Chain A
C-alpha cells in the first residue's frame, strides 16, 4: 500500500489529466484506459497538486479555503491520494 507523508510533494504524472467534462457536467481524471468521475471535494484536492507544495502545505491551504480543521482534511485527502498512488494516477516528486 502506498504511504503519503506530510513532506511528500504529490503530483499528477504525465499521462494523467484533470479536465472538465462538458457533456456530463463535473470534472474527470483521465489516465491510461481510466476515467474517474470526481466529486467536488476530489476536484478541490487535485487542483492543489502543483508539483511544488508538499502535502502539509496543500492541506493547510484547503483547511483555510474551506474553514475546516486541517487534520480532518488531511485524513480524507491522504486516503484519497494514497488510493490514487496505488492506481499509479498520482506520484510523489522524487
Chain B
C-alpha cells in the first residue's frame, strides 16, 4: 500500500474487560486485560482527541462492561469534547437512574443495550447473572424516560434463534429505535461453546425469512440490522467493512487493532496508542496495511469480481479454518476450503439433532463454559 488510506469513521473503544456478566459467546479475548493495565481517563481523552482529528465520527464505548469504570462520565465528556458521536454499548448492569442522567447531561448520543434472551429464564442463564433481565427492563425504562435513542442488541444462537418474534416484540415494547440481531460468531469465548451455541441450518434459514419480513412490516418504526449466520452461506460478509478501511479498535490497554479478533492472527504485531499517534498507526502500521485493499489477495479473491464487495471476507476466519489469513474466507463457495464451515456447524449440532429437537431442550440443561470474571 503506497497510497494514504482514507480516514476511519468509527472507533470501538474497549474501556475495560471487566464485566458482571459472563456470556458464553463473549467476544473478549481468552486472556483478559487486568484492571491495572487499563488506560487512564486522561489517556483515553488523548485517544479520543486524536481520533476526532484523524476523522473518526463515531465512538462506541464498549468493554467488557463500560459501566464498570467509575470514571465513565469523564470518558463520555472527553469523547463529546472531541466532537465524536458517542455511543454506549452496555448490559445495563451497574446503571442507576442518577448515573444515566449524568451521562445524558454530558452529551451521550445513544445507548445500545444488550439482551441475552427474550425472557428472564433464558437471559439470566445465558448471561450467567441472576436478576439481569429484570434490571435491563428497568434500565430501558429510564432510557426511554430520558429520551436517549435506544438500540437493543440481541445475540442469537441455537437456544434463542427460534424466538426472534419475541425479540422483535420486546424491542418495540422497550421503545427501541433500532434492533441489532447478531448471530453468534465463533471467535473468543464463543469458540469454546460452539457445540452448545451452533444453530441448525433450518433455524438459520427461518431466521433469514423472519428478519426480512419484520424489516418490511416494521419499516419506519424499528430499524433492524442483521448479522446473519454465515456458516451455511455461499459468500462471505464484508467483515469490518474491509480491513483497515472504515474502523479501528482500541483495547483496554491501548492496543490498536483493525478488528477485535485480529490478535488471533499470530504473526501480526500491534502498536499501542500510549506510544504511537493514532494517525501514524492508521496509515503506517504493518498490521493495518497487511490486508488493506486488494494487493495482499491470493486466488480466488485476486481475480474475483466481488473482491471490492466483501474484501475476501473475514481474515480471522480464514486464519482459523483455511490456515492462513491471506486465504479467502472459507465461507466463500469459490474457496477450496468451502464446506469446512458448514461441516463444522453440522458436526456441532449433530449430537443434539440425534437426541431431539434443537433448541427445544431446557436452557438450564445446556452446558456452557463461562468466562472467569474472578
Contact = CB atoms under 8 A, between A and B. Distances in A.
A32 B177 contact: yes
Contact of B7 (A14, A19, A23, A87): A23
B109 interface: yes
B110 A15 contact: yes
Contacts of B180: 33
Residue of B7, B177, B178, B222 most packed against chain A (CB within 10 A): B177
B220 A35 contact: no
B177 to A, nearest CB: 5
A32 B109 CA distance: 8
A33 B149 contact: no
A35 B147 CA distance: 21
A1 interface: yes
B148 A35 contact: no
Nearest to A20: B83
**For the side of the interface on B, what is the size category?**
20 to 34
Given A24-B6, A85-B220, A87-B223, A32 B57 contact: no
B218 to A, nearest CB: 10
Contacts of A14: 147-149
B178 A32 contact: yes
A35 B9 contact: yes
A88 interface: yes
Contacts of B219: 1-2, 86
A91 B225 CA distance: 20
A88 B7 contact: no
A79 B109 CA distance: 27
Interface string B196-229: 0000000000000000000000011111010000
B155 to A, nearest CB: 16
A33 B223 CA distance: 11
B177 A15 contact: yes
B113 to A, nearest CB: 12
B55 interface: yes
A25 to B, nearest CB: 11
Interface in A12-60: 13-17, 19, 21-24, 28, 30, 32-33, 35
Interface string B135-172: 00000000000011101000000000000000000000
Nearest to A14: B147
Interface string B3-45: 0001101100000000000000000000000000000000000
A45 B67 CA distance: 38
Contact of B225 (A1, A17, A33): A33
Residue of A1, A21, A33, A88 most packed against chain B (CB within 10 A): A33
Contact of B220 (A2, A16, A33): A2
Contacts of B110: 15, 32
A33 B55 contact: no
Contacts of B183: none
Nearest to B246: A35
A88 B223 contact: yes
Contacts of A16: 149
A88 B55 CA distance: 25
B220 to A, nearest CB: 4
A17 B112 CA distance: 17
A20 to B, nearest CB: 10
A49 B219 CA distance: 22
Given A15-B177, A28-B57, A33-B178, 13 more contacts: A2-B219, A13-B149, A14-B148, A15-B109, A15-B149, A16-B149, A30-B58, A32-B109, A32-B178, A32-B223, A33-B87, A86-B220, A87-B223
Interface of B: 6-7, 9-10, 54-55, 57-58, 83, 85, 87, 109-110, 112, 147-149, 151, 177-178, 180, 219-223, 225
10 contacts: A15-B109, A17-B85, A32-B112, A32-B178, A32-B223, A33-B58, A33-B112, A35-B57, A85-B220, A88-B177
Q: Which 3 A-B pairs have the closest CB atoms?
A: A23-B55, A15-B149, A30-B85
